[in-house]
Amino acid sequence: MSTVDVGVLFASVSAAQLVAMPVVGWLSDKFGRKRTTILGLIATSGLFLLYFLADTSYEVLVVSIAVGIGFSGTSLLLAMIPDVTPIAMQGATVGIYGSFEDLGVIAGPLLVGFVWSAFGPVYIFATASITQLIGAVLVCGIKQNPARSDSSD
């Protein structure tokens, strides 16, 4: 693949996420934010493993678009803050959430670089799959305030 093709792949993930976010938001209103987020994380975990089966640039593009759709569920984590946080602490909680998101942006490339160097580039997809599953387990552990959360969560 050319560097332009790789750029298209990265853009396709973000474009798919952009298009899917309103639909995922609607699904979260219908089925619950927590449930929709967990489903997105688990789906994305499985989708990352499809990179192992992709043989052509077209297949990699299709998997990348699917991964972007799965990633759209993570946007619901920010929407869950009012459901799990006392009103007086919501601003601080959003700040902490943002800090951890930035920590992921810092640690993610370091982890990918280590995995790539130690095992080879294809294993970054297995690593990404595992991190999505860890995220799903962590979201499962979130305790929601029944008085403030959506009744379907």
CATH number of 107's domain: 1.20.1250.20
Rounded CA separation 139/71 (Å): 14
Q: Would you say residue 151 lies in a domain?
A: no
pLDDT at 36 (0 to 100) = 94
Distances (CA, A) of 73 to 2, 20, 59, 76, 147: 30, 9, 22, 6, 23
φ, ψ for residue 144 (rounded to 5)? -100, 150
Domain that holds residue 125: 3-140
Q: What is the number of structural domains in the chain?
A: 1
For the segment 45-68, what is each residue's pLDDT rounded down to a tens digit?
A: 999 999 999 999 999 999 999 999
- Is the residue at 145 inside a domain? no
pLDDT band at 148 (very low <50, low <70, confident <90, very high): low
Does residue 105 lie in a domain region? Answer: yes
pTM of this structure: 0.84
Tell me if 152 is assigned to some domain. Answer: no
